[in-house]
Amino acid sequence: MALRPWSPIPIVEAGEPLVGLPPQLWRLQPHPYVSLGAPYGAHGNPFQLRSSVVERLLQAEHALRQAQPQCRLAIFDAWRPLAVQRFMVRHAVLQECARAGVNPDQPSPARDRVITEVGRFWAPPSNNPATPPPHSTGAAVDLTLADVSGMPLEMGGEIDAIGPASEPEFYAEAALADPNGAEALWHGRRQRLARVMAGAGFVQHPNEWWHFSWGDQLWAWRRSEGQARYGRIGEAASSLAS
């Protein structure tokens, strides 16, 4: 899997701790990666982020509820230690190989194509502190919209789905062609999520409608910042979170 265009951006660590998400932020549970057996370790609470990122998420939640009282943010995933990133990349490759009828353990052009496509969505589980996966920094969050009861809204594709339909603007043309169609509804919801997150300072992953971050290398790249605020944070630090 190739490095990202944001990988060369230097990191000047701000030193903020991970903190647990407060009750105002709805969590989608059971957590999908925990359910798969991903190795979080003794202090592996995935629902935690850097303190400033949590503050901005609360701003986004407040703005959304003000504009759309029937909606709320629903957190799918947040902090992800490196061991979990490695586990989930392998899981995604195995899943896509099975779907394509490809042997994941036999080198072939077909397997290479699967790995390349998975790499558009899953960051390499790099152990290099200069190129941390975004979720390992505590700066990235995967989320969607839900109704007031916490039931996720249909967004035109599942979180973590591999393929073009996961791109934020995938339904834009269909929405223009038929403003009353399902694609227009899904596009509008994606835009609503993107607007409320951007209003709180977050940037969106170019390939994923659900992925937003503040303070990591992706954020710095999309905002033309000279440096990122957060590097990879280890499992030991997560024990500080509630």
Catalytic residues: 208
Rounded alpha-carbon distances, angstroms, from residue 50 to 9, 34, 161, 170, 232: 19, 20, 26, 30, 11
Residue 4: inside a domain, yes or no? no
Task: Reply yes or no on whether the pLDDT at 237 is more than 70.
Answer: no
Residue 133: inside a domain, yes or no? yes
Strand, coil or helix: 72: strand
Residue 105: inside a domain, yes or no? yes
Residue 3: inside a domain, yes or no? no
The confidence score (pLDDT) of residue 178 equals 98
Taking every pair of C-alpha atoms in the chain, what is the biggest distance, in angstroms? 53
Residue 124: inside a domain, yes or no? yes
Residues 194-222 pLDDT 10s: 999 999 999 999 999 999 999 999 999 99
Per-residue pLDDT, averaged over 1-11, amounts to 84
Identify the domain containing residue 200 by its residue range: 18-240
Q: How many structural domains does the chain have?
A: 1
> The domain spanning residue 76 has which CATH number?
3.30.1380.10
Per-residue pLDDT, averaged over 29-37, amounts to 95
Residue 120: inside a domain, yes or no? yes
Strands 26-27, 71-77: parallel, antiparallel or unpaired by DSSP? parallel
Residue 7: inside a domain, yes or no? no
